[in-house]
Amino acid sequence: MPATRNSLLSQLSTAVLFLAALLWLVPLVWMVLIAIRPPQQPINQGNIFFGSNSVADCQHDLCTAVGTLSADNFSDVFDAVPWGKQYINTLIFVFGTLAVQLVTITLAGYAFARMRFRGKSFLFIIVLTQLMIPTAILIIPNFATIRALNLRGTLWALMLPYFGSAFGTFMLRQTFRQVPRDLEDAARIDGCSWVGILRHVYIPPSVPALVSFSLVSISAHWNEFLWPLIITNNNTRPLTIGLTQILQTSESGAAYGQIGAAVLIVIAPLIVLFLLFQRQFINSFVSSGVK
């Protein structure tokens, strides 16, 4: 009986998770279908996704039994926003920030995990308080700092507030503390400096934690909106600001097809990244002990 009950509970939990996944996919499916709907047809006309499927409405070669498919929304969106420049700005922002973060959180995590210095616990508590401070509260002091440094409108201004990460420091500290200290002692006997110890003893077993942090950092900064809106200009805008430009170009209200096409253009790299690294993403959190 217990085995049967466990089997039923497992099947029930699987069914619930499957339904939750389908529910999560509904907005994405809606966005895809509304983006390839002919833009000239109102949303309440014909098929809710593809519009009318009459022969007169088929202005393209690709017509199906359910209606007409159209790429007009994507072409209109590409004409309205300089996506190429904004993609380059976003890639520099996201991966430039990540490169610096990997260095800072590794050094800080090692210092808090293995080094001994006065006030270490108190300083670590101060670092962790960053996790409890809403990002919006820091916008004014960050803006004042960027203006004092005369960096407003540059990609450096976009990246500078994110060079440190309390979450990454905490993750690396917990990961480094799981490494046996005997390995460090053996490396010191062999003549390794603290840099060599960090490189050969601590970093190799911490790769899963670094991968998980990298994926979280990429996703968070790819979707960043408020800080780029305040600190950038037309030459340094990232992709998220391009979405607001699509909203501003519509003269007759919300153009849902264009909005859906623009959102797909912005989130497509994140979807591909998750599909390629979903197993590593899940395993990295499990192996690093972050729940």
Q: What is the pLDDT of residue 100?
A: 96
| Amino acid in the structure at residue 52 | S
Extents of the domains making up the chain: 24-70, 81-256+266-288
Dihedral (Cα; 77, 242, 269, 161), 10-degree rounding: 170
Q: What is the pLDDT of residues 27-42, one digit of tens each?
A: 888 888 888 877 776 6
63: pLDDT confidence band, cut at 50, 70 and 90?
Answer: very low
Instruction: Give the C-alpha separation, 17 to 22, whole Å.
Output: 9
| Closest among 173, 151, 169 to 161, alpha carbons compared | 151
φ, ψ for residue 40 (rounded to 5)?
Answer: -80, -10
End-to-end CA distance of the chain: 32
User: The pTM is what?
Assistant: 0.80
Residue listed under structure tokens 């623009």: 262
Q: What is the pLDDT of residues 167-194, one digit of tens each?
A: 999 999 988 988 888 888 888 888 888 8
Which CATH architecture fits 81-256+266-288?
Orthogonal Bundle (1.10)
- Helices and strands per DSSP (H, E), number in the chain: 13, 2
Chain-centroid distance, C-alpha 158:
16
Instruction: Give the C-alpha separation, 284 to 78, whole Å.
Output: 37
**Contact between residue 239 and residue 262 where contact means Cβ atoms under 8 Å apart:** no
Q: What distance separates the 2 farthest-apart alpha carbons in the chain?
A: 82
| Closest among 274, 154, 280, 127 to 212, alpha carbons compared | 280
**Contact between residue 262 and residue 177 where contact means Cβ atoms under 8 Å apart:** no
| For residues 105-122, average pLDDT | 89
**Average pLDDT, whole number, for the chain?**
81
